[in-house]
Amino acid sequence: MKKGIWMFVVGPPLVALFIFIGGEVVMHLWNWLLPALFGWHTVTFWQALGLLILCRILFGRMGGRGFDRSRFRQRMDEKWQKMTPEEREKFRGSWRSRCVYRPPASETGEPA
């Protein structure tokens, strides 16, 4: 029971401290590097915190499992092993039709 009370009392201030430190670090790094290198504007603490959150959403896991490439690859390998040779060829053909570059008809001289 004491551990739960301790987490309830100490946890929120620690979270706030980590958010504050993260915002400050992003702000100082941005304002130190980017205006000098690229001529970009400096940012405020709140803008830096927004950038940190945006990067976390786009590139981070946000506490969840996120997209795990190795797990995706493992699942695809399992599906591949269960396919018959005909299913594999059909799968390859469907990906070829999506991924292969075909020049426009005007470049090949074929009618559209």
Predicted confidence band at 20 (pLDDT cuts at 50, 70, 90)? very high
The whole-model pTM stands at 0.50
Give tens-digit pLDDT for 35-46.
989 999 999 999
Asked if 11 and 55 sit in the same domain, the reply is yes
Predicted confidence band at 25 (pLDDT cuts at 50, 70, 90)? very high
23, burial (CB in 10 Å: exposed 0-12, middle 13-18, buried 19+): buried
Let me know if residue 46 belongs to a domain. yes
Asked if 50 and 76 sit in the same domain, the reply is no
Asked if 34 and 78 sit in the same domain, the reply is no
Number of structural domains (the chain) is: 2
Let me know if residue 92 belongs to a domain. yes
Please report which residue ranges of the chain form alpha helices under DSSP H.
2-38, 45-59, 69-82, 85-99, 105-108
Q: Cα dihedral sign for 16, 22, 28, 31? A: negative
Predicted confidence band at 27 (pLDDT cuts at 50, 70, 90)? very high
Asked if 34 and 74 sit in the same domain, the reply is no
- Domain carrying residue 47: 2-59
Asked if 15 and 43 sit in the same domain, the reply is yes
